[in-house]
Structure 1
Amino acid sequence: MFRKVGTPGGSDTQGGENAFNARFKLKFIASDTLGFLFSADYTRARQEARPSTLLFTKAGPNDGTVASAYNGCIFGQAPTFICSNRGVVGTSFSGVNVDADPNNNRLPISDAFVTSDIDKSYARGSNFDNLTSWGLSLTTNLELSDGASLKLITAYRSLDSKFGSEIAATPIILNDASFAMDQKQFSQEFQLNHDSLDGRLKGTLGLYYFSETGGLLDTPVFAEGLIQIYGPNRFSNKAYAAFAHEHFDLTDKLGLTFGVRYTKENKKFRGDQQDLNAFWARAGAGVDPNVVTSLPLPFLPDQNDLTRLYPFGLNKLSFSNVSIKAGAEYKFSPAVMAYYSFAQGFKSGGWTTRLLSPSTLTANDLTFRPEKANTHEIGLKSKLLDGHLRLNLAAFSTAYKDIQITEIIAISPAFKNAGEATIRGFEAESEARFGGFGLTAGIGYLDAHYTKMSPGATIPVTNDLVNAPEWSVSLGANYRHELANGSAFTLNGDYNYKSSTSPDAENSPYLRSGNVGLLNGSLAFDDADDRWGVTFGVKNITDKRFVVGGYDQSGPNAIGYVGVGYSPPRQWYLTLRVKN
């Protein structure tokens, strides 16, 4: 458990988990040719925010950060028009001087809040992670003939969530990020499956429809309210697809695969983001308090409301794409197969929805394009030693065009098309079992890099791709001992290694994970009829701690800190499993 220091009221910890999950399935066979499967699931979480730890601050008078402006206000060193009239908070920094006014109890932002303990912080603000989600689905299977069947999948899902965290981990509300999202989804899929030519030709033809509506309310607060964002957004999406996937065995050894998918998406978005204190206007106006804004009024979204940041209007985007998949496989024997595949990928575009200052553009100028990828893969799958050994090998290459990234511009995330990138690599995995003993091993290598940057992208072409480890290794062993009555004990152990990765496109050195190796183990007991079982396990046995994410807000015009989140410490768990 991550402990916060000096938290006034509420929970004094972060990272606590409290979630309930339930699943239900009902299968009904109406006849020899007609069957139904009804599924339902429900998730409810009422828990604490992810832990955060402050590494250092950037709040000096020459750092040019939001924290600098806050300190300048409470020390009486910043212009009055920046510090006063702070919107809905209803208080003012104007004329306050910590040295001259002994009654001023405002704390300056400084490295005094660094605890030098990754499991402690002075975070005081929002601390919640609440989610309610449920879904229903009905799958209908109808046998049309000996070689043809129809499947209909109807599904609905609802999501309501609220998240909040003082991610700068200071007792001053420096970067209190909170938001609420609601979402409704409906989908309908039709599949016609066929098996013909004595089993040599198998395939699926299908149609798919997806509808989504929802809203996102952003309410972050920076530097005790010096900047207060209120960002209600509404969005909707309707997607249509038609697809086909066919496999044909030319001979007993050689088979060919081909697939094609057409996708059409229609998206709508309305953004009404405001900075309730119009901090950009005062900070951008210079030192003259008579200057209201540094931008000409005709370029503002609303000339009568300096707080508005996002352009007016309902914004629309449409995307369409045709992607194909093709491949071949050759069976040297029933236990050894080689294959080649080519596949195209498509990820639709959208809008950057958060701005620091009013945009002089329209919302359609704040869009990012779809991302596309072409992947080639060649490999070998085999079962050797009478099935006791499984060995799979693969080599692949993926070329990305208009790869989508998230860049942090000042204090706001912006979605952009960085340019082109290539990922090449190989994977090898094996599994061996002899009697009660089992061994697994795997190794992977990635050469992931940008090859060309788009105009306007601010990251260098030499940066690493996000979360792309060069090397990954996994090792595992287990032993199953069966008792005379048929029940069994199983002992498991595994080790997983990944080389250093960056969670951000900017590759901040403070956010890199470093090389990570984790050791886990468990002991399980299962009764003879597999009606119940109990498992005791330990995760991260060696108590390895590493950075899993965070925010580097130390540059000019940024918030003025670097904060990170660390992986959980050693954990143990006890699981009871019961079947009816």
Structure 2
Amino acid sequence: MPAKNRTRYLGSLIAAVALGNSVQSDAQEQAHSTAAYTLEEVTVTARKREESLQDAPVSVTAFTNSTLEARSLFNLGNLSAVTPNVDISHGKGDGGSTNAAVYIRGVGQNDFIFPTDPGVGIYVDGVYIARSIGGMMDLSDIERVEVLRGPQGTLYGKNTIGGAINVVTTRPGNETEGTLRVTAGSRDRLDLEGSISVPLIPRHLFGKVAVASKNQDGYSRRLLDGTDMGDTNLDTLRAGVSWLASDDVDVYLAYDVTRIRQNGAPGTLLETFDDPSGLYAIYNALAAPLATGPGLEPGSQFDNRWVTDSPYRSNGTGPTRDHNDTWGLTATVDWQLGSTLNLKAITGYREMDAEIQVDMDYSPFPIVQTDEQQEQTQFSQELQISGLAVDGRLQWLAGAYYFEEDITDNNTTFLASGIYDALEMLPGAFVPLVPDLPCPAAFPAPCAGGQGNPYNVMFDLDVNPLTGLETENWAAFANLSWALTERAGVTLGGRYSYEKKTYDIDSIFPNSGNVATPPTTDSQSWSQFTPKLGLDYRLDEDALLYFSWEQGFKSGGWNPRPLSPLEFKRYDQEELTAYEVGLKSRLFDNRMTLNLAAFFSEYEDLQLTSNSVNPDNGSLLLTVDNAGDVDIWGLELELVARPLEAVDINLGVGYMDNEYSSLSPATGYSIDNKLPQAPKWTANAGAQYRLGLGQYGSLTLRGDVTFRSRVYNDSFNTPEIVQSSYTLLNARLTWQSAAGSWRVALFGTNLTDEEYFTSAESVPSFGFRNAVYGRPSEWGVSITREF
């Protein structure tokens, strides 16, 4: 027996013993087809060309449509539970329930508001989605989702310093086919999904339409007005036309529209506290007694009486709304110019109109309430030309990219609302602003109170900023992959990017008419060359070893929430250099794939958002700073195996740690702090068993478990809002007809009813901490008909 086959045979025996299975006789082995044990090949376009997942020398996790369904993954946020070193949450509470704060390997962005940009790029059919609002997209009508870890500064470029999520929707084909699905479940859940693909002109013109309507009552409730929080009310439509203009030209036109009408994020008040430098005490002394509304009796105070005994209940009464309308058009042209030359053009236009109302203190008092209205348009154009050379040993791609965005924001924010009015009502200046000062005292002694007192305006905090941002991004890129020998290859890539932003702001305090930030327009520009070097070596036809060195960057901006002209400050770009070594392997005659990656990242001038106390008046101070430099390192393991024809297992493990190498003293953080949204351990495991029922079809039982270690929810690592480690358990039982045209599934998520929060904030200026909790235990039944 050849050495190679002998190794595979021995490996198969070892695997069988490890799984507790008896070794079958040679006759039994021959009775089974090897194909029945072989894992399905997964094709990805992570490097902007089709190739097997196992042949791509990059760290990428891919989910096909069938995988998404089998693992009960309904929206983009679910992917963090099944992808190592990935964290996806709603981010800051005022971003609403559809905001997607994505972190990969510790790099991302928690804040939704511009001019801050996401650190992980989301692409749909090759079109970059610039804003994170609405990013918790529904995964209906999806062919494949690819999660690329590490900077993608060559082929993707804009805002992919942490990684990229590449969403590929389904395309129509030359056969008439369709899907109908109804899902019902907990809290009156009712999802309706349908799609149909038909040849309009056989072999030349094909069309598709896919629609989904998803509705469910919320899992959190406001006690004082009965409002459901965490509800779902989403309608979406995707349509596409594919035209084979000739044997060499393929044109695809796609349209999508989504309408969301939901309440705000399902948060709750964790605790109140009196920070001596904040406004907690002065609010309770002056404004709280004058506040009116549901639940407020004479003498009410903003204190822990408004903390409920359930993570799914709150005493909020302020406005809560998450409305979002988005639509887009995409045109993709593939032109085969010759046997070794291809031209591709991707044109995208998108619009977003969002209204987000949030009561962040989750109490009857107007401590922090926001009413945000954003309108955004974006246009992008990408051209790629690719080909083969040197007898097919050299694969090359070159391209150019243009992107422009125009976005406006009208934000009405209430901050400790009522202090200014209460001071104006006082008969005189009775409130000392410095220690041990006797009041009243003659002006200009620093005593607040009394109508017209100029010191009162220090506490006029309700603010209405009008902001706008225009962005232009130009880039040129190239990527070469050269097979030096039959086993060894090298990849060289680079991207030159130029980005210009123009930001304008006009912010006033409407109660007093004072100016928070006078009408101001400022422009900044950045340019950067981000290179890549990759080496790969085939140990044999089933094992690929690779190394990569790559850089990424994200442009800078301005402090997005200034409450005075002095707070209107610029921050600069951030940069990341990543080193990665990995192994991709097929084992046991392709019954198992095992992928390993180790990485080390040098993160420079990282942009961190902080929430602190303004030393001038105790109010809120929200800033974005280039905090310093941090080193991030870690490991990832992903395994998929089919030890028996009817058994599939998967395992994913991520380990990550980080350490500041330098830190600006102005940030106020400790150099011993850890990055937010960067758990040290992430792990997921799943197994399914398929039982054949002959002419009655089959039953498949599946279980999935997810583990996530401790997570810091802010840059200060505030201990009261640290989420400790937790484990989630999901299960699914699916019956499929013998012809495969019918499926009925019973599923449950978070079966142990684990309580955990996905995001949390500490606001010392106003003395409260809040959290948004993850979904409790849920069940559902899904019926699918394919034709």
Shorter-chain TM-score above 0.5: yes
Instruction: Look up the match of 1:298.
Output: none
Counterpart of 1:15 (choices 230, 251, 255) is: 230
Q: Which amino acid aligns with 1:150?
A: L
Tell me the SS of whatever aligns to 2:672.
coil
Instruction: Look up the match of 1:392.
Output: 595
Q: Structure 2 vs 1, CA of residues 324 and 115 (structure 1 numbering), >3 Å: closer, same or farther? A: same
Q: Structure 2 vs 1, CA of residues 182 and 32 (structure 1 numbering), >3 Å: closer, same or farther? A: same
Residue 569 of structure 2 corresponds to residue 360 of structure 1: no
Residue 461 of structure 2 corresponds to residue 230 of structure 1: no
Aligned pairs for 1:81-100 (under 5 A) are none
Instruction: Look up the match of 1:326.
Output: 533
Q: Structure 2 vs 1, CA of residues 215 and 75 (structure 1 numbering), >3 Å: closer, same or farther? A: closer
Instruction: Look up the match of 2:494.
Output: 260
Instruction: Look up the match of 1:112.
Output: 305
1:491-546 Cα shifts (integer Å, max 9, x gaps): 21111111101121111112211001111111223445544533321111110011
Aligned partners of 1:489, 1:155: CA distance in 2, in Å? Answer: 43
Residue 261 of structure 2 corresponds to residue 46 of structure 1: yes
Structure 1 residues 508-517 or 314-323, which shifts more?
508-517
Q: Which amino acid aligns with 1:351?
A: W
Structure 1 residues 104-113 or 503-512, which shifts more?
104-113
Instruction: Look up the match of 2:279.
Output: 66
Counterpart of 2:686 (choices 476, 480, 491) is: 476
Aligned partners of 1:488, 1:197: CA distance in 2, in Å? Answer: 50
1:466-507 Cα shifts (integer Å, max 9, x gaps): 111111222110112344348433221111111101121111
Aligned partners of 1:418, 1:5: CA distance in 2, in Å? Answer: 40
Residue 506 of structure 2 corresponds to residue 272 of structure 1: yes
Q: Structure 2 vs 1, CA of residues 533 and 135 (structure 1 numbering), >3 Å: closer, same or farther? A: farther
Aligned partners of 1:129, 1:234: CA distance in 2, in Å? Answer: 21
Paired residues of 1:67 and 1:174 also in contact (CA < 8 A): no
Paired residues of 2:463 and 2:516 also in contact (CA < 8 A): no
Residue 252 of structure 2 corresponds to residue 37 of structure 1: yes
**1:271 deviation in Å?**
0.8
Tell me the SS of whatever aligns to 2:406.
strand
1:21-53 Cα shifts (integer Å, max 9, x gaps): 222222110111111111111111101111121
**1:223 deviation in Å?**
3.0
**1:104 deviation in Å?**
8.7
**1:75 deviation in Å?**
7.7
Tell me the SS of whatever aligns to 2:576.
strand
Aligned partners of 2:488, 2:659: CA distance in 1, in Å? Answer: 35
**1:225 deviation in Å?**
4.3
Residue 351 of structure 2 corresponds to residue 181 of structure 1: no
Instruction: Look up the match of 1:342.
Output: 549
Aligned partners of 1:267, 1:128: CA distance in 2, in Å? Answer: 30
Counterpart of 1:403 (choices 597, 600, 606) is: 606
Counterpart of 2:623 (choices 407, 414, 418) is: 414
1:3-29 Cα shifts (integer Å, max 9, x gaps): 21122xxx5221111111222222110
Aligned partners of 2:696, 2:606: CA distance in 1, in Å? Answer: 54
Counterpart of 1:431 (choices 640, 643, 648) is: 640
Tell me the SS of whatever aligns to 1:459.
coil
Counterpart of 1:56 (choices 245, 251, 271) is: 271
1:262-283 Cα shifts (integer Å, max 9, x gaps): 11101011011222235xxxxx
Task: Provide the aligned C-alpha RMSD in A.
Answer: 2.0
Instruction: Look up the match of 2:585.
Output: 382
Instruction: Look up the match of 1:145.
Output: 338
Instruction: Look up the match of 1:372.
Output: 575
Q: Structure 2 vs 1, CA of residues 354 and 6 (structure 1 numbering), >3 Å: closer, same or farther? A: same
Structure 1 residues 109-118 or 197-206, which shifts more?
109-118
Which has the larger helix fraction? Answer: 2
Consecutive unaligned residues of structure 2, counting only runs of 5 or more, are 1-218, 420-460, 614-619
**1:567 deviation in Å?**
1.4
**1:549 deviation in Å?**
1.5
Aligned partners of 1:122, 1:75: CA distance in 2, in Å? Answer: 15
Tell me the SS of whatever aligns to 2:641.
strand
Tell me the SS of whatever aligns to 1:456.
helix
Aligned pairs for 1:179-218 (under 5 A) are 179-218=372-411
Counterpart of 1:567 (choices 774, 782, 786) is: 774
Instruction: Look up the match of 1:295.
Output: none
Q: Structure 2 vs 1, CA of residues 136 and 58 (structure 1 numbering), >3 Å: closer, same or farther? A: same
Q: Which amino acid aligns with 1:563?
A: N
Paired residues of 1:34 and 1:140 also in contact (CA < 8 A): yes
Q: Structure 2 vs 1, CA of residues 74 and 504 (structure 1 numbering), >3 Å: closer, same or farther? A: closer
Residue 355 of structure 2 corresponds to residue 162 of structure 1: yes
Structure 1 residues 390-399 or 11-20, which shifts more?
11-20
Structure 1 residues 208-217 or 114-123, which shifts more?
114-123
**1:413 deviation in Å?**
2.3
Tell me the SS of whatever aligns to 2:782.
strand
Instruction: Look up the match of 1:82.
Output: none
Aligned partners of 2:507, 2:700: CA distance in 1, in Å? Answer: 55
Structure 1 residues 246-255 or 403-412, which shifts more?
403-412
Paired residues of 2:255 and 2:330 also in contact (CA < 8 A): yes
Tell me the SS of whatever aligns to 1:569.
coil
Consecutive unaligned residues of structure 1, counting only runs of 5 or more, are 77-92, 97-102, 279-304
Tell me the SS of whatever aligns to 1:231.
strand
Aligned partners of 1:104, 1:252: CA distance in 2, in Å? Answer: 80
Q: Which amino acid aligns with 2:353?
A: D
1:43-102 Cα shifts (integer Å, max 9, x gaps): 11101111121122235xx845333222221588xxxxxxxxxxxxxxxx6xx9xxxxxx
Aligned partners of 1:529, 1:208: CA distance in 2, in Å? Answer: 46
1:269-326 Cα shifts (integer Å, max 9, x gaps): 1011222235xxxxxxxxxxxxxxxxxxxxxxxxxx6x21124321101011100111
Q: Which amino acid aligns with 1:387?
A: N
Aligned partners of 2:652, 2:313: CA distance in 1, in Å? Answer: 36
**1:329 deviation in Å?**
0.6
Instruction: Look up the match of 2:709.
Output: 499
Q: Structure 2 vs 1, CA of residues 383 and 351 (structure 1 numbering), >3 Å: closer, same or farther? A: same
Residue 739 of structure 2 corresponds to residue 511 of structure 1: no
1:104-136 Cα shifts (integer Å, max 9, x gaps): 947322222122222221100011111111111
Aligned partners of 1:114, 1:266: CA distance in 2, in Å? Answer: 46
Tell me the SS of whatever aligns to 2:317.
coil
Q: Structure 2 vs 1, CA of residues 335 and 543 (structure 1 numbering), >3 Å: closer, same or farther? A: same
Aligned partners of 2:695, 2:297: CA distance in 1, in Å? Answer: 75
Q: Which amino acid aligns with 1:31?
A: S
Structure 1 residues 417-426 or 455-464, which shifts more?
455-464
The TM-score normalised by the length of structure 2 is: 0.63
Aligned partners of 2:351, 2:533: CA distance in 1, in Å? Answer: 36
The TM-score normalised by the length of structure 1 is: 0.85
Aligned partners of 1:114, 1:312: CA distance in 2, in Å? Answer: 40
Tell me the SS of whatever aligns to 2:719.
coil
Q: Which amino acid aligns with 1:447?
A: D
Paired residues of 1:521 and 1:538 also in contact (CA < 8 A): yes
Q: Which amino acid aligns with 1:13?
A: D
Q: Structure 2 vs 1, CA of residues 527 and 135 (structure 1 numbering), >3 Å: closer, same or farther? A: farther
Q: How many pairs were matched up?
A: 517
Q: Which amino acid aligns with 1:67?
A: Y
Instruction: Look up the match of 2:762.
Output: 552
Q: Which amino acid aligns with 1:43?
A: T
